[in-house]
Chains A and B, each alone.
Chain A
Amino acid sequence: DIVMTQSPESLAVSLGERATINCKSSQSILYISNNRNYLVWYQKKQGQPPKPLIYWASTREIGVPDRFTGSGSGTDFTLTISSLQAEDVAVYYCQQYYSTPLTFGGGTKVEIK
């Protein structure tokens, strides 16, 4: 199984400041044949289902604000919120879809400082 490890578990950031979330996979999730990383980022707000933000590690879903940026390749990935807004308070999860069993990171809780 591919283990996904997120850090930090939580972070508090001032409005307008940058938030950085890390996700590490226990093995590469880069598919060599098409040079795509099979990693998705979700945003989960209290009482709501997860919402996909970014797939293939760096491609934003339609409608996702450009302050959300995904980066990384192989085993190390980052989700950056460039200028934190109040509506970004949520738990963020990474998930690999390179192979089954599909696995998620433990989540990172983002709060306002």
Chain B
Amino acid sequence: QVQLQESGPGLVKPSETLSLSCSVSGYSISSSSGYYWGWIRQPPGKGLEWIGNIYQSGRTYYNPPLKSRVTISLDMSKNQFSLQLNSVTVADTAVYYCARVTAKDGAGSGKFDSWGQGTLVTVSS
């Protein structure tokens, strides 16, 4: 059974870069044909927002409002994938989740079938 676990700093200063990793166990991300690996966030008291997905080939798909600030990458040697969000503001304060995505097509779309527990990242000086 696949398990995912987010890790990274819980506090980031405004204008700096948020960096999170997601460690995957029980499944090799290099054999993820049919799956993407994705990030979702939930600001306090608000709903869920998709950040982006990555395929095993390294192809990425980002939510347009965040696209200019987001980078998602894979590290197959560590069986993990990562999120970088640049130039953060208080509006980026949220619980960040990583997830496995069952692909619907080759265009980045899919449903999130396994989730990490989430990690709260607070943006504050």
- The complex places the Cα of A50 from the Cα of B101 at a distance, in Å, of 13
CB-based nearest B residue for A51? B115
Q: A104-B47, A104-B49 are in contact. Are A98 and B111 (CB under 8 A)?
A: no
Q: A49-B115, A49-B116, A50-B115 are in contact. Are A100 and B108 (CB under 8 A)?
A: yes
**Residues of chain A contacted by B104 (CB below 8 angstroms):** 38, 97-98
The number of residue pairs between A and B whose CB atoms lie closer than 8 Å in the complex comes to 59
- The complex places the Cα of A52 from the Cα of B107 at a distance, in Å, of 21
| B49 & A38 in contact (Cβ 8 Å cutoff) | no
One digit per residue, 1 when the CB lies within 8 angstroms of any chain A CB and 0 when it does not, for chain B 86-125 equals 0000000000010100001001111111011110000000
Q: A38-B104, A49-B115, A55-B111 are in contact. Are A101 and B48 (CB under 8 A)?
A: no
Q: How far is the CB of A100 from chain B (nearest CB, A)?
A: 5
One digit per residue, 1 when the CB lies within 8 angstroms of any chain B CB and 0 when it does not, for chain A 86-113 equals 0000000101011111111111000000
| B47 & A50 in contact (Cβ 8 Å cutoff) | no
Q: A49-B118, A97-B104 are in contact. Are A102 and B113 (CB under 8 A)?
A: no
Which B residues are within 8 Å of any A CB, using their own CB?
47-50, 53, 61, 63-64, 97, 99, 104, 107-113, 115-118
